[in-house]
Structure 1
Amino acid sequence: MSDKPSDDSSSASGLPDDVWEQFIRDTERDIRSSAPKEPSARARMVTERLRDQDARGEQPPGWRTGPAGQGANRRAARRRKVWAVLGVTVAAALVVVALKPSLLPGDPFGNGSQAAEASPLPDETAKPTAAPGASDPETPTLDRPFAGSPALRWADGEDGIVLPEAKAVGAVSADRVEEALKLTKKLLVGANLDPKTVRGARPAAALSVLDPKQPELLDDLDTGLGSPSREHDPVTLFSRFDPDEVRPAGDVIKTRGRMTFKKGTQGGVAVRADYTFVYPVVRADGPPEVARTIVRRVLDVELADPARYKVTPGRLLLVEYDQEIGNSACDVYDGYLHPGFPSSRSEGPDPSGPATDPYDRSKELDHGDGGNCGTVTRT
């Protein structure tokens, strides 16, 4: 390149000579500074050694990421590539997070403010084959009344009573089957989940589902609710606690079970309901110590054909009912459940029967002779 332009070029450009010379000097300086430089002999040796160590998997500590394992190194390398692209955006986001860390999803800093509970179980559609596995030995609290219990993963209240798909049974239409299933759920809810019932009030909603043309049954239930005794004990059908003794620990009762149906014996559809309810409670006037009572109920009901039998349309016949109660005082027949708290012994005599797992829904209910009070392996 000529240091000075020709007369023609100078006149064409219209630039003075001193300006053109300054342009030439700046251009040559920029070209020299941007030209690739040959690395020194030491630089070539270091580069070659590191390349060989990388090939042998002998990356030295402190190189790129520090003394972490190879898996972390690879993640860090990829993370840095993303960071290079998103650096400006992420840097701005970090300022916001520093001012308000709650914007991050979950609980990334482990402060427990949003502790994740165990994932819920799918609905029970068949008889379980075994008892639930062991849970972490956690002490229940008012904030987490189901801690340490398999029921932690169960559904809440009515959500745990999932009706099966209604299908015709013989001459009984699918609509009649659906009616029977809904009435059975109403009975279960009124007897075991209604807040008034659980707090010891008369279970009016549950009683309204039962056919009044079963006079002996309703008379027995009324007797038990008014004058409870061993022969007429309302807790065999209703979950009731003495409000002067305990109060619910929160608003949630855990529920798990299933419902099945078949052709009935009185021209209708027969429904079997097998459900377990878990009640966390605290003393009414004591320390906030949480105890849990577990009640499993098995009901056999039938929606009979009013055209063939003397029954009330839209009401259920209660054919049979059974229960198993875990963590309630034995030989106390005052119409209430009486949970035992860890810090004190429950009322009544020492248990003499076998130990059972109240969460084991894989077994049939053990009727025994009704004379022995057993123990529970967990609550």
Structure 2
Amino acid sequence: MPRTRSRRVAVNTVCALLAAAAATVALRPSLLTDRLPDGLPFFGTQAVDTLPLPAASERGPSPAAPFRGSPALRWADGAAGIVLPEARATGGLSKARVEGALRDTRDFLIAANLDPATLRGERPQAALDLIDPTDRTLLDRLETSLAKPSEKHDPLMMFSRFDPAEVVPAGPVVKTRGRTTFEAGERDGSVQIHADYTFVLPVARARVDAGQVARTIVRRVLTVEVSDPATYEVTPGKIWIAEYRAHVYNSSCTVFDGYLHPSFPGDAPESDASGPSQDPYDRSTAGIAPEPDECAPVSRT
């Protein structure tokens, strides 16, 4: 049975004032009143995600139809699902500064979750290059996770990647749904960008049973702190990730080698999975709760 793995929140220390100490930012989801471009509410999407699917969906996914039977069939393709809000001057920062930070945040999400090189397990250099080089704490943590992945240092907390010796993409499309908002930060001259996206990643076995397709679903919640470079030690054109969380559905709960390991039809269930099943398409909750790591069965993929 497919299973889900929750990962604890990782909080990053925010950039320091030139003449003061650093602060720590906590996620504060904005009011959930905006709507998706297709007119559907972002949270509480029951109206679309529980609609009956075509009878053909009962056959399950295939290389020719990797999203058959999934609500993601109606979602946007790849980067088209990452739609940014209109920028405005906020928190003492100009419209241009906010607009640039929104664009950089979107570029990071694409590089970390949609870039074909990242997905096939290569070094996510494009994503790493977007992180502020002065944020050595985060960069060192990510470098350790990529070089020596472990349960404590897991690159899957930030990047969506598979072992190319195990699986290959089942087609060129990743389905995406989510939302980006922004608000004035707690400090003068700062803005917080909140991104909450779900990525549906279809794969096939690399060597055998090429006709089988499995889907791994990853929900990511990211908070980016945008600060005035005249006051804070930040690098223009780079992002400072204040907080990130991940919830991975249909990947091993017990393997920590830096790759997603999906379960295919007929695979033995993982013994550590317990508790009530979880629906990876349920986006009715605001963000991801900072709960302890857990392993639970998945109701569908």
TM-score (norm 1): 0.65
Structure in which a larger fraction of residues adopt helix: 1
- Asked whether the equivalents of residues 135 and 150 of structure 1 are also in contact (C-alpha less than 8 Å), the reply is no
Are 2:193 and 1:271 aligned? yes
Are 1:338 and 2:261 an aligned pair? yes
Partner of 1:255: 176
Q: Deviations over 1:155-199 (max 9, x none)?
A: 100000111111111421211111111000011000000000000
2: CA distance, partners of 1:156 / 1:316: 25
Which of 216, 219, 243 is residue 293 of structure 1 equivalent to? 216
Cα displacement string for residues 285-342 of structure 1 (whole angstroms, at most 9, x for unaligned residues): 0112000000000000012111001111211111000011111111211000000001
Amino acid at match of 1:356: Q
Contact conserved, 1:276 with 1:294, CA < 8 A, in 2?
A: yes
Distance 2:37 2:299 in 1: 25
Tell me how far apart the structure 2 counterparts of residues 135 and 297 of structure 1 sit (CA, whole Å). 27
Offset at 1:126? 5.1
Corresponding residue SS for 2:193 = strand
CA distance, structure 2, for counterparts of residue 175 and residue 135 of structure 1 = 44
The 1-side partners of 2:42 and 2:66 are apart by 27
1:181 aligns with 2:96: no
Partner of 2:151: 230
Task: Return the alpha-carbon distance in structure 1 between the equivalents of residues 194 and 292 of structure 2.
Answer: 24
1:330 touches 1:349 (CA, 8 Å); kept in 2?
no
Larger radius of gyration: 1
Pairwise mapping of residues 78-97 of structure 1 onto structure 2 (< 5 A)? none
> For residues 161 and 124 of structure 1, do their structure 2 counterparts lie closer, same or farther at Cα, with a shift above 3 Å needed?
farther
Distance 1:271 1:125 in 2: 22
- Residue 50 of structure 1 corresponds to none
Note if contact 2:91-2:191 (Cα within 8 Å) is conserved in structure 1.
Answer: no
Q: Deviations over 1:249-294 (max 9, x none)?
A: 0000000101000112452221000000000000000112000000
Q: 1:183 to 1:245 in 2, by over 3 A?
A: same
Secondary structure at the counterpart of residue 342 of structure 1 = coil
* Aligned position for 2:12: none
Task: Kindly indicate whether the alpha-carbon contact (under 8 Å) linking 2:91 and 2:183 is maintained by their aligned counterparts in 1.
Answer: no
Compute the displacement of 1:343 (Å).
1.9
Using structure 2 for the length normalisation, give the TM-score: 0.81
Alignment of 1:3-152 (within 5 A): 122-123=37-38, 127-131=42-46, 132-136=49-53, 137-152=58-73
Residue ranges of structure 2 left out of the alignment (5+ in a row): 1-35
Structure 1: distance between partners of 2:218 and 2:38: 19
Provide, for residues 66-100 of structure 1, a one-character-per-residue CA deviation record: whole Å limited to 9, x for no partner.
xxxxxxxxxxxxxxxxxxxxxxxxxxxxxxxxxxx
- For residues 341 and 134 of structure 1, the distance between their equivalents in structure 2, rounded to whole angstroms, comes to 25
Paired amino acid for 2:205:
R
Q: How far apart, CA to CA, are the structure 2 residues paired with 1:244 and 1:327? A: 18
Give yes or no for contact 1:224–1:335 (8 Å, CA) kept in 2: yes
Relative distance call for 1:320 and 1:268 in structure 2 (3 A) is same
Which residue of structure 2 lines up, in the alignment, with residue 353 of structure 1? 275
SS of residue matched to 1:332: coil
Compared with structure 1, are the counterparts of its residues 187 and 125 closer, same or farther at alpha carbon in structure 2 (3 Å cutoff)? farther
What is the rounded CA distance, in whole Å, between the counterparts of 2:64 and 2:91 in structure 1?
49
SS of alignment partner, residue 209 of structure 1 = coil
Between the aligned partners of 2:245 and 2:39, the Cα distance in structure 1 is: 20
Amino acid at match of 1:322: R
- 2: CA distance between counterparts of 1:239 and 1:133? 26
In structure 2, distance between residues paired with 1:329 and 1:361: 22
Which stretch shows the higher mean deviation, 242-251 or 261-270? 261-270
Contact 1:247–1:284 (Cα < 8 Å) also in 2: yes
Using CA pairs under 8 Å that are at least 6 residues apart, name the structure with larger relative contact order, 1 or 2.
Answer: 2
Q: CA deviation at 1:369?
A: 2.1
* SS of corresponding position for 2:130: coil
Q: Which residue of 2 aligns with 1:322?
A: 245
Could you tell me how far apart the structure 1 residues matched to 2:165 and 2:289 are? 31
Conserved 8 A contact 1:249-1:290: yes
Residue 25 of structure 2: aligned partner: none
Q: What is the RMSD of the two structures over their aligned residues, measured on CA atoms?
A: 1.6
Q: How many residue pairs align between the two structures?
A: 257
Partner amino acid for 1:323? A
Measured in 2, the distance between the counterparts of 1:293 and 1:329 equals 10
Question: Separation in 2 of the partners of 1:310 and 1:122?
Answer: 36
Distance 2:93 2:41 in 1: 23
Q: State the secondary structure of the residue aligned to 1:151.
A: helix
Three-state SS of the structure 2 residue aligned to 1:255 is: strand
Identical amino acids, percent of aligned pairs:
54
